Amino acid sequence: MKNPLNRRLPRELKAELPKYLIIFLFFVMTISAVSGFLISDYSLQKATDESFEKFKIEHGNFEYARRPSAEELTAVESEGGIKVYENFYKEELVQSFDCQDCTFRVFGERKDIDLVDVWEGKLPGTDSELGIDRLFAKNHDLSVGGKIKFADKEFTISGIVALSDYSCLFQNPSDMMFDNDKFGVGVLTDAGFASVREDHIHYSYSWLYNDKPSGETAEKDAAEELVKTLSAHGTVEQFIPAYSNKAIQFALNDMKGDSMGIVIFLYIVVMILAFVFSITISNTITREAGTIGTLRASGYKRSELVRHYMILPMLSLAAGAVVGNVLGYTLLNDIFAAAYLNSYSLLTYETIFTPEAFVKTTLIPFGLMFLINLIMLVTKLRLSPLRFLRHDLRRNGRKKAFRLNTKIPIMIRFRLRVIFQNLPNYIMIFVGVLFAEFMMMFSLIFGPMLDTFQDNTVDNLLAGCQYILKVPAPTETEGAEAYTAASLKTIGSETGIIEEDVTLYGIAPDSKYVTVSSGKGRVDISTAYHKKYQVDIGDTIRLKDQYGGKIYEFTVGGYYEYPAIIAVFMDKDELNSAMGLEEGYFNAYFSDSTIEDIPEKYIATRITETELTKTSRQLMRSMGSMMIVFTLFGSIIYVLVIYLLAKIIIEKNTQSISMTKILGYNNGEINSLYIHSTTIVTLLSLVIGLILGDRLLSIVMFEVFKGYSGWFEYTMPIEVVLKVLGLGVVTYLAVVLILSRKVKKIPLGEALKNTE
């Protein structure tokens, strides 16, 4: 070795192996997780972006109440500046396997628009073959060659496919959550499609603009004009421009939002690591002050010492970056891609190694660590060699110790001195504990919140089943009660929350299912509406028509105990009047028993427990496994931060600990002075972190769930508190055992070194 200082590096590495190993593991975990996530995310995003042109995805779709004539469609195309394609579908309950309330939607052949991507097998070739959505097949253990039955007809699965306009399985445009468990899609040959009964056929058409509007504003303006044209030629049942079609856009938007969130998470972790670095560097300079003074007095330049003390930290970071990227681009990339593929019906894709991910996950954090190291070392090494030899490293001269009341017992005063002398370390312990606790609380509370939402939904069902009709139809079913159902939307610009569907119930007088307490001219709102939108009695709520844009205003007169669903309840005649419907009109039934005497062709929707709990079921399926990762990551961060900083505190006080041994204190008593001080700070951090984390989490959870349909009541179950505290205490006890061994190994002769 040309530089004699380099001979110290192996010894320094051996002596400080735990510290550098922790830094290495920190970087490995962070880079592998984030790079793996971003690579999978970018790869899937690219495949989805390219699919719009590759698979000729529609610019929108609409549905008429009846099948329009060829002349009417020609007029729509001419006046609207679009090309219209038939995209009829039929929707039936699955009959072939145990899947209560599973609905399957089938389309005919797709040759010109919304093409189909084949994952496995082939597209159907006969009228008895079916191409089935990959995710629905996976969730129900269906494979190529298997059978599925609906509409009293059995089909053989010829291929596992993805429909380009159903990357996310939303059954209805008003749904705020997709459902790949109870809802599936597939394609048949035209002959196979014609062989399915037409009880639930939907006259749906997809369109492509002749000249696609450029920009979101232009596209919205074009859609507003188009819906007027469509309305002039028939009764529009449904109108969904592609930019607002969640079945097309939700997955892509979610992936883009996730990539931003994970990068923010990365830089939060990097900031914590940066502060830990600054403390470790400061401790290293303090511990080796005499050596540094000797080297400087021997002629070594400040720049040479800076380079020397940067080698090991940067090598540990470089090794962590290499290992982290290898894991991220291989194992974790597949894991995160699988998490998306288990949630969304995405098209086939290829893994892309993007430079942007490498820059964000490796170069920027590595550069930040390099700058922090450099700045700290340059700042610390500005002192004269004599100051280092004297161990006088204070930049502003000696400061008097903080005066403590002599009435405080000596042992308590001693512990307080230890805390005050190591305050920066203890502040970082608090920050690390708070961050780790927040991650653990977030992951542990997710399940209970979804369970609470589901329990509230099930326990407060208005009826065993609700039937929404296409047209009024009589029934002789005992206990069935007619009501009027309508759907309006909240106004996002006024509420500050994304637009959400609100169900309006027009209840018959003396109803046995729902009791409306408000008087004439007022409405009851569900308790979910009251809590989510902070609407009180006497306030006026404004809702809008989904397509026409008409604004409706209602005065709140009371609350109805309906804790999970956003709804408005009023007298049936008042709702009919408000919506411009004739007196006595109804379009729905409450019933606790199955209604069997209404023809299927008149039933639009059945609202059951399955339908109302799809949000909680899907979120648990989609994100349940990710919560385990958050818990694990939070626990590891907690252990690493506590151990590293507590170790630094022990090392910083090595000389004092050695002196107490000379004075006759045993290891247990020394632990009570130094380690117990850290224990006090850690336990206080755990308790304060729980309080602050609870308040912060209530805000975060509101932001997370406000875009979903319904109201997710935030509560902090006592079992979550006990789990977080228990996990924190148990892991800290393991750290204490390690630190106790370190205290035991400090020799008595250490007190004779570095004396002034």
- pLDDT exceeds cutoff 60 at 707: yes
Confidence (pLDDT) at 182: 84
pTM value is 0.69
User: Quick check: 185 pLDDT over 80?
Assistant: yes
User: 587, 607, 627 — which closes off a domain?
Assistant: 607
- Which pLDDT value is given to residue 622? 61
Does the pLDDT of residue 1 top 50, yes or no? no
For residue range 445-504, list pLDDT tens digits in order.
Answer: 877 877 777 777 777 788 888 888 878 888 888 889 999 998 888 887 777 777 788 889
Looking at residue 199, its pLDDT comes to: 82
pLDDT at 2: 63
Q: What is the mean pLDDT of residues 690-704?
A: 84
The model's pLDDT over 14-65, given as tens digits with 9 standing for 90+, comes to 877 877 887 788 788 888 888 888 888 889 988 888 899 999 999 999 988 8
Looking at 177, 206, 238, which one is the last position of a domain?
A: 238
Domain extent at residue 546: 465-607
- Which stretches of 579-666 are DSSP H helices? 609-612, 614-652, 654-662
Percent of the residues in the chain that have a pLDDT greater than 90, as a whole number: 19
The pLDDT value recorded for residue 401 is 56
Same domain assignment for residues 592 and 657:
no
In a domain, 157, yes or no: yes
pLDDT at 398 over 60: no
Give yes or no: residues 225 and 88 share one domain. yes
CA distance 615 to 456: 13
512 located within any domain: yes
- Of 571, 462, 578, the closest CA to residue 523 belongs to 571
Q: Is the pLDDT assigned to residue 566 strictly greater than 70?
A: yes
Q: Same domain, yes or no, for 598 and 511?
A: yes
Consecutive H or E run containing 604: strand 603-607
Instruction: Report pLDDT for 556.
Output: 92
Range name among 143-157, 209-223, 276-290 with the lowest pLDDT average: 276-290
Predicted confidence (pLDDT) per residue in 622-649, tens digit:
665 566 766 777 777 777 777 776 777 7
pLDDT band at 193 (very low <50, low <70, confident <90, very high): very high
User: Is there a single domain that holds both residue 546 and residue 618?
Assistant: no
Q: Are residues 172 and 182 in the same domain?
A: yes
Q: For residues 435 and 478, state if they share a domain.
A: no
Residue 131 lies in a domain: yes
- 749 has a pLDDT exceeding 70: no
DSSP β-bridge partners for residue 487: 503
The pLDDT of 172-186, averaged and rounded, is 79
User: What is the per-residue pLDDT for 619?
Assistant: 66
- Number of compact structural domains in the chain: 3
pLDDT band with cut points at 50, 70 and 90 for residue 752: low
596 and 615 belong to one structural domain: no
Element containing residue 54 per DSSP (H, E): helix 17-54
In a 3-state reduction of DSSP, which class is residue 422?
coil
The answer to whether residue 33 is domain-embedded is no
Q: 491 with 474, same domain?
A: yes
Instruction: Indicate whether 561 and 619 sit together in one domain.
Output: no
pLDDT at 206 (0 to 100): 94
CB 441 within 8 A of CB 724: yes
In a domain, 314, yes or no: no
- Whether residues 633 and 756 share a domain: the answer is yes
| Structural domain contains residue 445 | yes
Q: Residue 434's pLDDT is what?
A: 82
Q: Is beta strand 501-507 parallel, antiparallel or unpaired with respect to 567-571? A: parallel
Proportion of the chain in helix, strand, coil states, percent, rounded to 5: 55, 15, 30
d(CA 718, CA 41): 36
pLDDT attached to residue 125: 92
Provide the mean pLDDT of the chain.
Answer: 83
Domain check: are 108 and 222 in the same one? yes
**What's the sign of the alpha-carbon dihedral 239, 243, 249, 250?**
negative
Last residue of a domain, one of 575, 607, 639: 607
Whether residue 653 is found in the same domain as residue 588: no
